[in-house]
Structure formats: structure tokens, C-alpha cells
Structure 1
Amino acid sequence: MALLSQKPQSNLNLLLISLTYLLYFGQLGVLVPYLGVFLDGRGFTSEQIGELFALITVARILGPNLWASMADKSGKGLGILRLGSLLTFGTFCLVFVVDSFWGLTLGFALMMMFWTAILPQLEVLTLNCVDSDATRYSRIRLWGSIGFIILTVIAGKAIDMFSSEAPIYVSAGVLAVLFISTLLINEPQAKPAKDKNTGSIWHKAKTPTFLMFILSAILLQVSFGTYYGFFALYARDLGYSGQATGFFIGLGVAAEIVIFLLAGRLISIFGIKWILVISIFLTALRWLLLGTVAEFLWVIIISQLLHAFSFGMTHAASVKFIHHYFGKAFQSRGQALYISIGFGVGGAIGNYISGQLWLQGAGSQQAFLFSAVIALISMLSLLLVRSKNMSASA
């Protein structure tokens, strides 16, 4: 039961859900850009950083499906969301008492396992509260982007003012407030699913349409490995301060906010397939620019503006596709499959390979060119799918 009593569709509840998105993605705005800086400050090599990122990302493979299965069977998605938030905060705090490679890997892996309980349930809750309205969903989801910007800039400035340890203190505070925010929100009363449930999600997941979609999602996340793992270190090597890096990342997410406001309309005009194809092509262009001419400030600015398509449009279109493709009977597990396989498998592979290619910065060009090629393959895999098979009514 929520600590504040309000209807799930009320403006207050939607505001609280927006706050939860702000905090969730704000936390990502601290750890995604700066975890590599934190680990580098503790003396880890680029190979170790890549391996640690890959190992903790593996937790995203099994975690979402476990939590989503519990949510679908129990009908208590909000309870799973709250439990995941609490356990994430508790396990993250292990970082203050361990310092070894395997100690930190275990701490972050446990945190990631519980972290995966949050987003799929939050997505389902939000879409149910707005009756699957893509425009209203995008307006709520953009608060996650705002949170990402705010916390990225704060953490970058904190690194300049204090040390590379600053991100973990910022993260601990954000996670504590995130748990509190989940106690305040409410969810719609569960309704019987209109779809006849055959008892297994695999009758939908094993279709050619979904298999090509998830292959594309995996490859897209593989391509992100270099950016997520090493962009902050790359910017530092190019001579930019932590605060400047924070502004670069914030610029990308600001562009993402704009695209989220337009996402619902663009998806209805172009369709899910072509939104994904165009966005992933622009992602490949983004990695190519970073790998070849990143010494120019204008190149970094353009590449960050392309984040609107690399993440913003691909995420909005993918969530829309999953929500309708699997229907109410399997919506939590469908979102979990997307998160666990796409982000988990793809992220782990991308983090490991980029760590091997980076070579303390000497292999930065090769790493980004690898990402560009992988993104192109991701785009090509979607061209094999018929547009009508990826429509919202599929």
C-alpha cells in the first residue's frame, strides 16, 4: 500500500512515477559514465574494467526474468519494484567496505541483480497508468532523462572537487531516495488478461519477428560497450574536465528529452521498424565520428546529440513493440526478456570486447570502429522483418 493515498491515474501518482524515473535514471547518470573513472582511480587496468563491467552485466540476464515471472504470477509488480529498490541500496553499500577486484565485482553484481527488478515493473506500471498512450508515456519517461542530466553534471563536478570516489557517495544517496519514492506510488488494480494465456511466453518469443528484434537489440547494446565503459576516460584523455564530461553527457540526454516528447507521434508516422532502422544507422554514424575525429569539439557535440536516436528513439520504440507484442498476459516477462537478453547479453559482450580493445586508450579508435560495424549489423537484421509484423497491433 502506498504511503500516500491517490488514484493510480491521478496527477499526483503520475508525478511520483516521474520522480521515480528521475531517480532511477539519475543513478545511471552517475554510474554509467563514471564507474570506469572510479575503478581507474582504484588502480584497475582497462582490461580489468572491461571484465568487471562484463561480469556484473551478466546479472542482467537472469535477474529480470526471475523478477518478472514473480510479478506476473503474483500480480504484485509494485511490491517487486519496492523490494528491488531496497535490496539494490543495501548491496550497493558493500562498495564502501571492499576494495579488491572480486569483492567489487561481487558487490556490483548483487546490486545489478536486484536493480533489474526495477525498470521492467516501472515500465509496466507506467504504461498501465496511462492506458498504453505512447505520448503520455514519453512525457513521463523524459523525467528519467532529466534526472540523468542533473546527476551526471553533479557527479562530474564532484569528481573535480573531491576525487574519483565521489560517484559512489552520490549513488548511495540517490538509491536511498529512490526506495523512498517507490513507497509513495500506487498501481492500477489488476485486470484479467484478455489474451488467452497458453502458460508459456515462448510461443511469442520464438517467432522470427521477435528473434530478429532481439538480435538487433543485442547487437545494439554490444555497440554501446565502448561508450558506456570508456567515454568518460576518453574525454579525460582528450583533455576535458569531469565537469565538461558531465555537460557532454548531459547534452546527449537533453537531446533525448526532446525526442521523447516527439516519440509517440514519430512512431505513429513512421512505424516501429523504420524508427529503429533509422535510429540505429545514426548510432553507427555516432561511433564512427567518435572513433575517427573526436579531437574536434563540434564532433563530440554532434555525436552526443545523436544520443537522442541511439537511446531515446530506440528505447521508446522497443518498449512500445514489446508491450503490445506480448500483451497483458506476458507484459512483465516480455519487458524482462528485452532487458535481460538485449541489455544483459549484449552489454556483457560489448563491455568485455571494448575492454580488450581499449588498451589504456591506445586502442580507442579500434574500439569505436568495432562499435560502428556492430551497429550497422544490428540495423541490417531489422531490415529482414516486415514492417507490419512490428506494428503496435502485432
Structure 2
Amino acid sequence: MPAIPYWRLSSFYLFYFALLGSTAPFLALYFDHLGFSPARIGELVAIPMLMRCIAPNLWGWLGDRSGQRLLIVRLGALATLATFSLIFFAKSYAWLAMVMALHAFFWHAVLPQFEVITLAHLHGQTSRYSQVRLWGSIGFILTVVGLGRLFEWLSLDIYPVALVAIMAGIFLASLWIPNAQPVEQAERSGAGGFLRQLRAPGVLAFYLCVALMQLSHGPYYTFLTLHLEHLGYSRGSIGLLWALGVVAEVLVFMAMSRIFARFSVRRVLLASFVIAGLRWLLLGNLADLPGVLILAQVMHAATFGCFHAAAIAFVQSSFGARQQGQGQALYAALSGTGGALGALYSGYSWNLLGPHFTFGMASVAAFAAAVIIATRMSDSRNSP
């Protein structure tokens, strides 16, 4: 069995999720710094997520059709850098909306194809995926802590420069990655096309729950930083709180092989949804209490870490090699759909109904996903 290019794969995840660590906590803060209202902020944050509904499926089909997944990753990373750099020319709402749409169209081409390449290098060992993916979490941590401190000392006007530097790192890391193609397993050779595999028991229910999970994260990713700043937390402290959630995520990634040895994918997903519902209630109602806020951030281990690892395992075992790109792309697309809807509803409800109600709706979405998983998926389905 060929050696796994661990550090090469890990370096890409490091930079890719460093970019997420620079946008999730700070993008809304930057738009607030530019003077936009919560509704306009919600719309601008939703635009990249809406592009995630379209771009991954297009690029996933192209990757499966051509087999040129690594080329798509490299071109997508370069185009992301080039199109986002347009932000330096103007700061109007229309111009920023265009920049958000253009760079997201290429950014969302990258990760689903890279996930397929990573799993091909791992030879289907999904338990080892978490050991590589944890470096993405480390990149996220370094970014949220570093930028949180930086924005206490310097103006948010330098924010786009930081993003461009990280995007350059993503492109350079992509040049270091060796290619790999998924190998069709014998038992999958007669499994039929993508649509037939999509109609297998539990698969559509899973994808619906993916959208609900990301919808429930809408207030968290769009307004948590502004929410905590309003409650009196400093930007440095907020960066550390974001980092705490991802530290918990790293620890759970390191333990996923043992978790999967004891629990089915269905049970891991179910626990993730229930914990997400509880977490949003805590953030919406008790975030002014530091102890409760710390607990809520530690719950990120389940609401992202366990959920994402279980989701990747589910997709990898639900589709054949020739449909892997489309399966991962649909996961990304429905994540984007849910995330966009979450950003939009939270943007419109934040001032009108307040944080308590906005996070309450997020909790309802997560609990609804838990009910669907409990009733529409069996424990025997999809073990990693």
C-alpha cells in the first residue's frame, strides 16, 4: 500500500480552514465596520453560502466526468484568490455582493474535490480521515486567535489583506499535493448511477438533515461575534472563545476512530443534532454567563466535529468511486443551502425579534433533524 502524504494533505486543510477561521467569526464584523445594517450583513454573508448550493454540484459533476479533481482544486484556489482581490477596488453593497459571489463560486469548487482526493490517498480508511482533517481545525484556531488579537490593536481595514494572504497559502499548498483517484470496490461495481444510489434507504433523509444542521448554524456563524461584543466581551476574548470550540473539535477528531468503533454513524449523527439544539438554546439565552458560554463552545466538538466526520463517512460509504465527487458536492451544496437560509433568516430576525428568538429557531431546526435521523435511518446503514 502506498505511503500516505500526510503532511501535504494536512497543509492544505490547514490553509483552507484558516480561511474559514478568518471569515466565520469576522466577516460580519467587517461588514458592520463598513456600516451595513444586520439585514444587509445577513445577505452578504448568505451570498457565498448560496453559491455553495450551485458550484459544488457543477464542479463535482465535472470532476467525476473528467477525473481531473486536482486540477479543479488548483484552478479553483487560484481563481478564488484572483476574484476576491477585487475587494480592494470598491466597498459598495453591490460591489461586495459581486465579490462574495465570484470568489465563492470557485472556493466551493475546491473542498469537495479535495475530500475525494484525500479519501483516495487514505485508501478508504475513514477512521484516518480525522487525523488529517484535524489540521484544518488547527488552522482555524490559529487564525481566530491571531486575528482576534490583531483587531484589538489595528483597524478592521486590514481585514481583506489577511484574507488574501491566506488564499495565497491555499493555492501554494494545492501545488504540493500529489494526485490520487478513488478505486471502485467490487461490491459497488453494480450499484448503478448517482441518482439510484441517492435513492437508497436513509440517503435522502441524511441530506435533508445536513441542510437543517447548517440552517441551525446560521445565527452562530453570522452574528455570534457581534452578539458577544454586545454582551461586553472583548475581540481578543471572542477569538479565544471561537478557538475553544475548535480545540474541542480537534480533540474529538483525534478520538473519532474509537467513537466509530463503539457507535454507528446514525447514533453519532443523532447525538450531534440533539447537542446542537441544546447549544443554540444556551447561546441565545445564557451567553452572558462565561461558564455557560464556555460549555456551549465545547459543544462544538459534537455539532461540527462528530457531525462532519460522520457525514463524510456516510457519503463515502453511500456512493461508488465514480459518484464520490457528486456525493461530496451534494453534501457541500445542501450545507450551503442550509447555511444561506440560516444567514438570511438570522439577518432579518436579529433586530426585529432578538437573539433569543433567532437562536431558538436554530434549536428547532436541529431538533427536527434529530427526529428525522431517529425515524428515517437504521443503525445498520453505513458503518465507517
- In the TM superposition, residue 9 of structure 1 has moved relative to its aligned partner by 4.6
Distance 1:353 1:190, change over 3 A: closer
Partner residue in 2 for 1:357:
349
Q: TM-score, length-normalised on structure 1?
A: 0.93
Q: Which residue pairs with 1:256 in the alignment?
A: 249
Q: How does 1:208-287 map to 2 (within 5 A)?
A: 208-287=201-280
> How many positions carry a matched residue from both structures?
383
Structure 1 position 198, deviation (Å):
7.5
Contact kept, 8 Å, 1:209 with 1:385, in 2: the verdict is yes
Segment of structure 1 superposing worse, 306-315 or 212-221: 212-221
Q: Contact 1:271–1:387 (CA<8 Å) still a contact in 2?
A: no
Q: What is the correspondence of 1:366-381 to structure 2 with a 5 Å cutoff?
A: 366-381=357-372
Contact 2:63-2:325 at 8 Å conserved across structures:
yes
1:121-144 per-position Cα deviation (integer Å, ceiling 9, x unaligned): 111111111112123211110000
Counterpart of 1:103 in structure 2 is: 95
* Post-superposition offset of 1:386: 3.5
Q: Any gaps of 5 or more consecutive residues in structure 2?
A: none
Please state if 1:93 is matched with 2:85: yes
Task: Measure the CA separation in 1 of the matches of 2:225 and 2:330.
Answer: 29
Which letter maps to 1:331? Answer: Q
Q: What is the CA-CA distance between 1:172 and the residue it aligns to?
A: 0.6
Structure 2 SS opposite 1:167? helix
SS of 1:58's equivalent? helix
Describe the superposition over 1:232-276 as per-residue Cα deviations: whole angstroms up to 9, x where unpaired.
111111111111111000000000000001112212311000000
| Aligned residue number for residue 16 of structure 2 | 24
Q: Which residue of 2 aligns with 1:323?
A: 316
- Return 5+ residue gaps in structure 1 as ranges: 1-7
Query: Partners in 2 of 1:102 and 1:204 — Cα distance?
Result: 41
In structure 1, C-alpha distance between the alignment counterparts of 2:275 and 2:9, rounded to whole Å: 31
Instruction: Render the CA deviation track for 1:46-88: whole Å, top value 9, x for unaligned.
Output: 0111122223311001100111111111111111111110001
Q: Could you say if the C-alpha distance between residues 229 and 307 of structure 1 is closer, same or farther in structure 2, counting changes exceeding 3 Å?
A: same
- 2:58 alignment partner in structure 1: 66
- Range with bigger deviation, 203-212 or 261-270: 203-212
Task: Show the 5 A alignment for 1:164-243.
Answer: 164-188=156-180, 191=183, 194=186, 195-196=188-189, 200-243=193-236
Q: Counterpart in 2 of 1:5?
A: none
- The residue that corresponds to 2:373 in the other structure is 382
Does the CA-based 8 Å contact 2:48-2:100 persist in structure 1? yes
- Residues in 1 aligned to 2:248 and 2:88: alpha-carbon distance in whole angstroms: 34
Aligned residue type for 1:108: M
> Are residues 1:120 and 2:120 paired?
no
Residue 157 of structure 1 and its aligned partner are, at CA, apart by 1.4
Are the aligned partners of 1:139 and 1:261 in contact in 2 as well (CA < 8 Å)?
yes
Q: Are 1:88 and 1:115, in contact at CA under 8 Å, matched by a contact in 2?
A: yes
Question: 1:222/1:190 Cα in 2 relative to 1: closer, same or farther (>3 Å)?
Answer: closer
Change (3 A) 1:368 1:313: same
Q: Distance in 1 between matches of 2:263 and 2:286?
A: 32
| d(CA) in 2 for partners of 1:353, 1:190 | 39
Equivalent residue number for residue 133 of structure 1: 125
1:191/1:374 CA distance change after superposition, 3 Å: closer
Q: Which amino acid aligns with 2:363?
A: A
Which amino acid counterpart does residue 319 of structure 2 have in structure 1?
A: F
Q: TM-score, normalised by structure 2?
A: 0.96
Helix, strand or coil: the match of 1:383? helix
Per-residue deviation, 1:190: 6.0
Contact 2:47/2:97 (8 A) holds in 1:
yes
Tell me: CA distance 1:96–1:390, structure 2 relative to 1, closer, same or farther (3 Å): farther
State the alpha-carbon separation in 2 of the partners of residues 16 and 129 from structure 1: 11
* Counterpart Cα distance in 1 of 2:8 and 2:291: 37
Q: CA deviation at 1:167?
A: 2.7
Residue aligning to 1:80: 72
Give per-residue Cα distances to partners, 1:309-335, cap 9 Å, x unaligned. 000000000000001101212001100
Instruction: Indicate conservation of the 8 Å contact 2:52/2:333, yes or no.
Output: yes
Residue in structure 1 matching 2:285, options 257, 275, 292:
292
> In structure 2, do the counterparts of structure 1 residues 158 and 9 end up closer, same or farther at CA, with 3 Å as the change threshold?
farther
What is the alpha-carbon distance in structure 2 between the residues aligned to residue 293 and residue 190 of structure 1?
46
> Is the partner of 1:103 in helix, strand or coil?
helix
Distance 2:236 2:275 in 1: 26
How far the C-alpha of 1:196 sits from its partner, in A, is: 3.5
Output the CA distance in 1 between the equivalents of 2:9 and 2:144: 21
1:392 corresponding residue in structure 2: 383
Q: Secondary structure at the match of 1:353?
A: helix
What stretches of structure 1 move > 6 A for 4+ residues in a row? none
Contact 1:75/1:190, CA 8 A, preserved across alignment: no
Partner of 2:339: 347
CA deviation map 1:97-125 (0-9, x unaligned):
12111210110111111011111111111
CA RMSD of aligned residues (A): 1.7
